[in-house]
């Protein structure tokens, strides 16, 4: 995907709060100032790069699937780094298949975040596009043991009651935006 197309994609996102508005503006400035948004070497070349999260949402009860990510030490949505010239929606679809064995239909992202990574590969910046996708919590998963220790369906109430430090720091804001859709 071209930088111009990425700018159009990010411009099309409606911020759900001031933090997302600020991060969206930061991402747009970054996109207009660089021609290298794809990770070229693990973990941090370049030090800021694109990521796609795919957030499976159970079509019956609204629960979400998160993974206990080995490197980050957090419960995160599945996802990964956008490959050179790859459409971030294709990244989300590919990652759902590779990490979970789920063949999903991916639409547009609804959320954007800028996060300094933690854990084993800490210190670089992920610019993440969040793609909710419909799924069935009873569908068998084929999980990637190299990426995470467990995949778990979380009710939104369970996430609300849990320690926020267990999750991506933006998950609560994403869920508020998801609930408003």
Which pLDDT score, from 0 to 100, does residue 120 have? 75
> Tokens standing for 45?
């070349």
Which pLDDT score, from 0 to 100, does residue 178 have? 94
User: In CATH terms, is domain 3-179 a member of 1.25.40.10?
Assistant: no
Q: Evaluate if residue 100 carries a pLDDT over 80.
A: yes
Percent residues over pLDDT 90 in the chain: 82
Are 65 and 25 contacting, i.e. CB atoms less than 8 angstroms apart?
Answer: no
Are 148 and 67 contacting, i.e. CB atoms less than 8 angstroms apart?
Answer: yes
> Tokens standing for 92?
């989300």
Rg (CA), the chain: 15
Predicted TM-score (pTM) of the model is: 0.95
Average pLDDT estimate for 120-126: 82
pLDDT confidence band for 172 (50 / 70 / 90): very high
Average pLDDT estimate for 83-104: 95
Looking at the DSSP bridge assignments, the partners of residue 128 are 51, 113
Average pLDDT estimate for 105-134: 91
Cα separation of 140 and 137, whole Å? 8
pLDDT confidence band for 124 (50 / 70 / 90): confident
Cα separation of 92 and 106, whole Å? 7
Cα separation of 59 and 117, whole Å? 30
Are 66 and 53 contacting, i.e. CB atoms less than 8 angstroms apart?
Answer: no
CA 65 → CA 8, 107, 158, distances in Å?
Answer: 29, 17, 12
User: With left for phi above 0 and alpha for psi between -120 and 50, is residue 85 left, alpha or beta?
Assistant: left
DSSP class per residue in 150-171: EEEEE-HHHHHHS-GGGB-TTH
Which pLDDT score, from 0 to 100, does residue 159 have? 97
Which pLDDT score, from 0 to 100, does residue 40 have? 82
Q: Evaluate if residue 119 carries a pLDDT over 80.
A: no
């Amino acid at each position: 995907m071209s930088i111009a197309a990425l700018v159009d994609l990010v411009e099309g996102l409606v911020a759900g709060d001031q933090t997302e508005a600020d991060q969206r503006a930061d991402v747009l400035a970054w996109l207009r100032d660089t021609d290298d948004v794809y990770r070229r070497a693990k973990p941090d070349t370049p030090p800021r790069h694109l990521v796609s999260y795919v957030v499976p949402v159970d079509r019956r009860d609204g629960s979400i699937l998160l993974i206990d990510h080995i490197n980050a030490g957090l419960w995160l949505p599945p996802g990964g780094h956008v490959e050179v010239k790859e459409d971030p929606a294709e990244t989300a679809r590919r990652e759902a298949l590779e990490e979970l064995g789920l063949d999903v239909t991916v639409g547009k992202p609804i959320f954007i975040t800028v996060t300094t990574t933690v854990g084993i590969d800490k210190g670089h910046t992920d610019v993440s596009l969040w793609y909710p996708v419909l799924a069935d919590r009873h569908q068998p998963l084929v999980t990637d043991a190299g990426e995470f220790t467990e995949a778990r369906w979380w009710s939104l109430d369970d996430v609300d009651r849990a320690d926020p430090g267990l999750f991506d720091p933006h998950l609560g804001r994403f869920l508020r935006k998801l609930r408003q859709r």
